[in-house]
Amino acid sequence: MPTIAFWGSRSAQRSEPIITDRRFQFKVVSKVTILMSAGALLWSIGMLAIGAYSLLTVPLCYLVISAASMYLCSISRTSTAGCNLQMSVSIIFPCLFQIVAGGAMATGAVMIWSLVALFSISVYATSREIIKWIIFTLFVLAITVVYENTPLFHFEVILDLNPIYLLIFNSISTYGVILAIGYFFVGTVEKTKRNLGKAVQEVNELNMVLQERNDEHREGLVHARDIQMAFLKSEDHLRTIFTKLFLLRGPRDYVSGDFIWAEQKGDFKYIITGDCSSKGSSHGLLTMLMVSIADRVLQENESSDPGAFLTKMNMSIHDSNSLDLTGIKLDVRLTILVVNAKTNKAKFATAGGGLFVKNALNGTVKKHVLNTNGIGCGDSEVHFSSMDIDLEIGDMVYMLTDGFMDQENQTGEKFGEERFHEILTHLDTEYSFMQKRVLVKEFHQWQEKCEQTDDVLVCGFEIEDPSFVYEEIDELEIYSEAKMDSELD
């Protein structure tokens, strides 16, 4: 609860722990005024009931002065003066009422109204402000006593229950108790507020530090993603190898652990999809490492056998002089397909992965899997086998990681291989970008509002007519040569 200094002194200008919010100050004074005005109205009604019209002067004056002072409180320029005036009137009014009316009822009214005003001040003010208001109240009471009865009071008089002396005795004792309680209450509140303020400040500073580090971490991940995307093979590059191709790639976080690699060497087209199982952003580094190793193996390896290609990659990871992978657990699942560009004869090999082939004639989809162990997680002497695969013109080949099929819906059920197989069976469009659109739609409908489970990579391409492709290339070469000859002439 905020604390306010009603007294227009230096303490009201201190920044701690006093809060000089005028709106809140006005709110507090309004509550005190409402309580005091209610008492004045009740007393006025009582005086009207018994016909004591002369006793209406003081409560009616209080109501009029309260209305004027509250109006001053509502104006920003005079708010402080208005609040101080209203609190002073709230203390002086019961004493004036005691002078005019006297008697036990007046004493009770003075006690009740004084306690209401003092308690309100003790709740919303500091210890120093409480003392000021108590001194002010006692000073007013002393003036009242001098006016009523100039002789000093004696203990015997108090025992006679003289109302004015009983008022003094009760006021001093009551204010003493309230002072002790107020000191303890306000002191505890102020100490708690200071500790709470320090804790809030520390939390805010910590949040700022965490926010800055989070922003730096996010910026670092964005840069890492951009670097990875520049390093990996793009969809445009893949289409230079397989013309009718689509690539669906969706990292779960900024950096993906899935990658695709494709190159052509002579008459052979090589394409690899891989899934690097790791935590954090380290799988992104593994993808770049695997792409570099694939490029090096392609340059050094003269064989077109995909099994030998995977074996060479596995040996390169373990035996490379430039890599120190001691103590690092690698688990990379790969699928490689090698297609003869002139004959469409193909071989494939897997290291924990697999591929789907959709027949162009009957629309059946078949999955091909060989070796289930990934590379990098076992002995460097492991040899991967390969297998011939019959591909016809118009067949669709789908190479993917397990992210699509492992996606969970709101009930926790995975998409699954069977459901993916069914989608491929009914995927009858001949345009690659339309197939990609269908797969994206199916994925999002299944995912709904759930978070993405894993990195997603799906690549599909059509086996084309080699003669048509090479005839088109020859025509382009002839056109280019003719254009060069014309420019030379």
218 belongs to a structural domain: no
Are 152 and 241 in a shared domain?
no
Residues with Cβ within 8 Å of 286's Cβ and at least 6 positions away in sequence, in order, are 257, 276, 278, 330, 332
**pLDDT band with cut points at 50, 70 and 90 for residue 159:** very low
What whole-number distance in Å separates Cα of residue 433 and Cα of residue 420? 18
Q: Are 299 and 292 in contact (CB under 8 A)?
A: no
What is the Cα–Cα distance from 5 to 122, expressed in whole angstroms?
11
Does the pLDDT value for residue 146 go beyond 60? no
Q: Are residues 349 and 433 in the same domain?
A: yes
Structure tokens at 185: 């209450």
> Over pLDDT 90: what percentage of the chain?
26
Among candidate residues 275, 466, 444, the one with its CA nearest the CA of residue 353: 275
Of these ranges, 65-74, 280-289, 420-429, the one predicted with the greatest mean pLDDT is 420-429
> How sure is the predictor about 112, in pLDDT bands with cuts at 50, 70 and 90?
low
**What is the four-CA torsion angle of 41, 47, 51, 54, rounded to 10 degrees?**
-90
347 and 283 in a common domain: yes
Higher pLDDT, 197 or 149: 197
Among the residue ranges 211-215, 247-251, 326-330, 332-336, the one predicted with the least confidence is 326-330
Residue 195 sits in the same domain as residue 319: no
Same domain, 172 and 255: no
Q: Round to whole Å and give the CA distance between 12 and 10.
A: 5
| C-alpha neighbours within 13 Å on the C-beta side of residue 398 | 26
17 pLDDT band, cuts 50/70/90, is: very low
Q: What is the mean pLDDT of residues 98-113?
A: 55
**272 DSSP β-pair partners:** 261, 336
Residue 371: per-residue pLDDT: 83
| Residue count of the chain | 489
pLDDT value at 166 more than 90? no
Q: What is the mean pLDDT of residues 271-292?
A: 83
- Same structural domain for residues 366 and 413? yes
Instruction: Look at residue 225 and tell me if it is in a domain.
Output: no
Joined tokens for residue 318: 């373990």
Decide if 348 contacts 355 (C-beta within 8 A): yes
pLDDT at 381: 74
* Mean pLDDT within 258-274: 93
Do both 277 and 425 map to the same domain?
Answer: yes
For residue 221, being part of any structural domain is answered with no
358-376 per-residue burial string, b: 16 or more CB within 10 A, e: under 16: beeeeeebeebebbebbbb
CB 36 within 8 A of CB 109: no
For 253-321, give the DSSP string: SSS-SEEEEEEEETTEEEEEEEEE--STTHHHHHHHHHHHHHHHHHHH-----HHHHHHHHHHHHHH-T
Burial class (CB in 10 A: 0-12, 13-18, 19+), 298: middle
Which residues neighbour 319 within 8 Å (Cβ) at sequence distance 6 or greater? Answer: 380
Range with the poorest average pLDDT among 130-134, 305-309, 476-480: 476-480
311 and 410, same domain (yes or no): yes
Answer whether 114's CB lies under 8 Å from 91's CB.
Answer: yes
Decide if pLDDT at 21 tops 60: no
* Amino acid (one-letter) located at 63: L
pLDDT for position 405: 94
377: CATH: 3.60.40.10
Would the pLDDT of 85 be above 50? yes
Q: Which residues pair with 332 in a beta bridge?
A: 276, 375
- Reported as type and span, the H/E element at residue 93 is helix 79-100
In this prediction, residue 262 carries a pLDDT of: 94
- Picking from 465, 463, 468, 336, the residue whose alpha carbon sits closest to that of residue 396 is 463
State pLDDT tens for residues 455-475.
999 999 999 888 765 444 444
Q: What is the pLDDT of residue 279?
A: 61
The total of structural domains in the chain comes to: 2
Number of H helices, E strands in the chain: 13, 10
Q: Is residue 332 part of a domain?
A: yes
Instruction: List the domain range (segments joined by +) for residue 150.
Output: 10-206
pLDDT tens-digit readout, 120-129: 555 555 556 6
Which of 190, 206, 222 is the C-terminal boundary of a domain?
206
Check whether 301 has a pLDDT greater than 80: yes
For residue 107, the model assigns a pLDDT of: 52
Has residue 129 been placed in a domain?
A: yes
Q: What is the pLDDT of residue 188?
A: 61
**Distance of alpha carbon 275 from alpha carbon 262, whole angstroms:** 15
Look at phi and psi of residue 394 and say left if phi exceeds 0, alpha if psi is from -120 to 50, else beta.
Answer: left
Both structure tokens of 141: 């009471």
Residue 132 and residue 196 in one domain = yes
Give the domain-ending residue among 154, 188, 206: 206
On whether both 264 and 199 belong to a single domain, the answer is no
Question: Do 161 and 276 belong together in one domain?
Answer: no
Residue 217 lies in a domain: no
pLDDT band at 264 (very low <50, low <70, confident <90, very high): very high
For 54, counting Cβ atoms within 10 Å of its Cβ (0-12 exposed, 13-18 middle, 19+ buried), the class is exposed
Output 264 or 282, whichever has higher pLDDT.
264
Confidence of residue 320 (pLDDT cuts 50, 70, 90): low
Q: Identify whether 223 is part of a domain.
A: no
Whether residue 33 lies inside any domain: the answer is yes
Residues 257, 120 within the same domain = no
Q: How confident is the model at residue 398 (pLDDT cuts 50, 70, 90)?
A: very high
Q: How far from 195 is each of 192, 201, 259, CA to CA, in Å?
A: 5, 10, 53
> In whole numbers, what is the pLDDT of the chain averaged over residues?
74
Model confidence at 278: pLDDT above 70: no
